[in-house]
Amino acid sequence: MLQVAINGYGTIGKRVADAVRQQPDMEVLGVAKTRPNFEAETAIDKGFSLYAAVEEREHLFDEAGLEIAGPVEDLVDEADVVVDATPSGIGAQNKELYEEYDTPALYQGGEDADLVDVSFNARSNFAEAADADHVRVVSCNTTGLSRVIAPLREAYGVEKVRATLVRRGGDPGQTDRGPINDILPNPVTIPSHHGPDVETIFDDLDIDTLGMKVPATQMHMHSLNISLEEEVDADDVRELFADESRLFLIPERMNIDGSGKLKEYALDAGRPRGDLWENCIWEESISTVGNDLYLFQGIHQESDVVPENVDAIRAVTGSADAEESIEKTNETLGVGL
């Protein structure tokens, strides 16, 4: 059993902890937190060993009546892999800690690509992470784009990707984010940083991205125009995507007209926290004009990277190949709507 440490138990960390716990070949050694908030309480309720991420704050946990198993250093020392799910930039500060204990580390998309040996997406470059010490599971948006680009490149070749990312202003729990009544070009400069981020997965890809932020918390929405190297029928693209386990083609009959209903569907389907691990592509939106492919997809920012983290754990420890890992992760979590 692979012993997995989770450092940073927030939006991503708590989901990865639950997902790791469901795997037959790994277990959660413990989770590290900086403060005794509601997430610390639920970690204890779920039976996770809680470690103090910052020594000077350990007394806050004692005062809140939450039992601490030890300092984060002990957790990192004993783990086979650490998943760092701390806020952007903190992962970089933690790198020294992971190096000190010689524990391979996974970081999240908020960290810079040059922090790590490999940027990771299971569908696109699983094998590149074998034996790497520092791996970055790319952001929710980059994950969503990579999952679509990889099969298109293999089947038809991709000449150029143009993507407009309509991004949620913040996650549901982020009360300090916005806008609350506005539509922002964000970043206002073009291209946005997302394109270069996708190039950390496909280094020879031609891609331009534009970003916006809107007053929504549920999901991101991508409007994609992908110029293929050959003329393709839209039905062929639908068939290609239907074979991809982490692409959900929303059928017209479901009458899902936006991210609100998508999230409602996830909750009705019994998904934990209403999570949507798959790219949600409106099937009717898949259209071709000559070599150009168009589509809309919804990306659940809080959860699409979760199965990717599980696969990245197997990739860095060499415990499975891509196909085996993706299948195991999908089966245990229930990926595939």
Using the contact rule CB under 6 A, the part of the chain among 75-83, 105-113, 244-252, 260-268 near ligand NAD is 105-113
140 is catalytic: yes
Using the contact rule CB under 6 A, the part of the chain among 32-40, 176-184, 222-230, 323-331 near ligand NAD is 32-40
Q: Which of 1, 36, 32 is nearest to 16 (CA)?
A: 32
According to the binding rule CB under 6 A, does residue 53 interact with ligand NAD? yes
10 vs 179, beta carbon nearer ligand NAD: 10
- DSSP lists the bridge partners of residue 184 as 213
According to the binding rule CB under 6 A, does residue 70 interact with ligand NAD? no
Distance CA 55, CA 45 (A): 22
What residue number has its CB nearest to ligand NAD?
A: 10
According to the binding rule CB under 6 A, does residue 272 interact with ligand NAD? no
Cβ atoms of 49 and 69 closer than 8 Å: yes
Buried b (16+ CB within 10 A) or exposed e, 85-95: bbeeebbbebb
According to the binding rule CB under 6 A, does residue 189 interact with ligand NAD? no
Q: Which of 28, 97, 140, 226 is catalytic?
A: 140
Interface characters, 168-187, with ligand NAD (x: CB under 6 A): ---x----------------
According to the binding rule CB under 6 A, does residue 7 interact with ligand NAD? yes
Interface with ligand NAD (CB under 6 A), residue from 76, 90, 310, 326: 90
Please calculate the CA angle 214-197-303 and round it to the nearest 5 degrees: 55
Cβ atoms of 247 and 147 closer than 8 Å: yes
- DSSP lists the bridge partners of residue 162 as 208, 225
Number of C-beta neighbours around residue 332 at 10 A: 17
For the annotated catalytic residues, the residue numbers are 140
Q: Which residues are at the interface with ligand NAD (CB under 6 A)?
A: 7-13, 32, 34-35, 39, 53, 85-88, 90, 108-111, 139-140, 171, 301-302, 305
